[in-house]
Amino acid sequence: MKNQLAKIVLAGMSTLIAATAMAHHGSSPYDDNVTKTVVGVVTDFRFTNPHVLIYVDVVRDDGEIENWSGELTSPNRLARAGGGGNVNWSRDILRSGDVIELSGNPARNGAPSLRLHRVIDSNGVILVGGNSGSVSTVPAARLASEPVATSSDEPGDLVGVWMRANTQPYEGYAFSEELPPMTDWAMERYQAAKPTYGENGVTVSETNDPVYQCLPPGTPRIYFHPRPFEIIQTSGRVLISYEYQQLLRAVYTDGRQHRDDLAPSWMGDSIGRWEGDTLVVESVNFNDNTWIDRRGVPHSDQLRVEERFSRSDSGQLIVDIMVDDPVAFTRSWTARKVFDPVSWTIEEFVCLDNLSFQEFEQILLEHDN
């Protein structure tokens, strides 16, 4: 396979295939209707947050060398075989000099850049974009471990590590396909938002999404980010540890009331109570600097969020959410998020002030002309 790919590189061959793809970003810098495949020599491999980047030198038809870049998801997801196959990535899965094949959506502006859907290494192993029948696996990820239960005398059992179980395309960025019932105040702010998802979607370089400034996403938006979270129960308190930005929520179930001496917060002041095996959490005292979802739906500092955590008969975690904000919405509204149990540990995911995104966007800008 390695020799064959090397010959293809020397011949400067590449294929351009029309394909239909699910659009995840509204006005994406990538063309979702086209798939391009290139074969090249790895010049750089960056196994870093928030997105893994691969750079390869490709021989063009005119004999000139052109450096292509490819963007993947985060290293944590790839290490857990979250890249569309069952290969667990590591920082040394690709090395400079390897001859590999990359396939994905090309940049709309013609830059040599891809949002990757498939990666094949020099041995013919499909690292991303395969399935259990077509992928040669490497040893299982060392990250996996069984969730550790903690001692608690509370009635419910929510302990474990949980990962979202989306079944609809919109579930990665919104609670429903339709917008919630917004007031004129909220609609004006929604139209001014520049998210990377939804009908108003723009490129990362154009967005005014607070998350791309490394600010906390807030509650309930935290559930849209593709990172796991862990629930830890102790007597009188439930801790929710989110991998995303290492955020931690303490939900007190000892009968205390909301505090009135706190400054407005990003994630809210949360207190909880048990109704049978269901944990009911009420959060208030938010600032108005976050969005409800990833498409730019705003809220005010009058936001109140109620979450009802329970386990289904099949073992999934169900979170029923009620959102109430008289400034932003004409009425309260509800939504549901479903999560699967996973045998993972919570790993580090630190925001780097958008440096990786800026680097990638700069590549597009440099090749714009």
Q: In this predicted model, what pLDDT tens digit does every residue of 8-35 receive, in sequence order?
A: 444 444 333 333 333 333 336 888 899 9
Please check whether residue 130 lies inside any domain of the structure: yes
Instruction: Report the range of poorest mean pLDDT among 118-122, 191-195, 220-224, 320-324.
Output: 118-122
Please give the distance of CA 132 from its chain centroid, rounded to a whole number: 23
Distance CA 251, CA 367 (A): 49
Question: Which structural domain, as residue segments, surrounds residue 41?
Answer: 2-142+354-366
Backbone angles phi, psi at 141, to 5 degrees: -60, 140
Residue-wise pLDDT tens digits, 208-265: 999 999 999 999 999 999 899 999 999 899 999 999 999 999 999 999 999 887 889 9
Q: Residues 125-148, buried b or exposed e (16+ Cβ, 10 A)?
A: bbbbbbeeeebeebeebeeeeebe
Which residues does residue 250 pair with via DSSP β-bridges, in sequence order? 239
Number of domains in the chain: 2
User: What's the CATH number where 168 sits?
Assistant: 2.40.128.20
Within this chain, do residues 8 and 91 fall inside the same structural domain, yes or no?
yes
Taking all residues of the chain, what is their mean pLDDT, rounded to a whole number? 83
Are 263 and 286 a contacting pair, CB within 8 Å? no
9 to 5, 110, 256, 332: CA distances (angstroms): 6, 20, 67, 58
- Give the whole-number percent of the chain exceeding pLDDT 70: 79
Within this chain, do residues 249 and 186 fall inside the same structural domain, yes or no?
yes
**Is residue 280's pLDDT more than 60?**
yes
Please check whether residue 180 lies inside any domain of the structure: yes
Please check whether residue 150 lies inside any domain of the structure: no
Residue-wise pLDDT tens digits, 119-170: 999 888 999 887 533 443 333 232 233 333 333 456 778 999 999 999 999 9
Q: Is the bond preceding 106 in cis, omega lying within 30 degrees of 0? A: no
Within this chain, do residues 304 and 361 fall inside the same structural domain, yes or no?
no
Are 105 and 81 a contacting pair, CB within 8 Å? no
Within this chain, do residues 289 and 220 fall inside the same structural domain, yes or no?
yes
